Amino acid sequence: MAGALVPVEIDKARDDDYVFYAVDQVVDCLDLHRSSKPKRNGEVRRPEYLHEALPARLPAFRLV
């Protein structure tokens, strides 16, 4: 598995309302040449990915 589901406790929410998916695998798949430059806070407004590096076997991924 490429991560773990962790229950999250939030006041006035039911037990099954929220979970946190803790990712434990990092994949470098951002195409730095085709993507927009990151803003000062690191946000990439227009990400472009290296298709051959996309983590197709993983249930989720995010830019970091």
* Tens of pLDDT, residues 8-38: 778 877 666 677 777 777 788 899 999 999 9
DSSP 17: S
Structure pTM? Answer: 0.56
Contact 30, 12 (CB under 8 A): no
State the Cα–Cα distance between residues 4 and 20, nearest whole angstrom: 8
For the record, the structure tokens of 28 come out as 């470098």
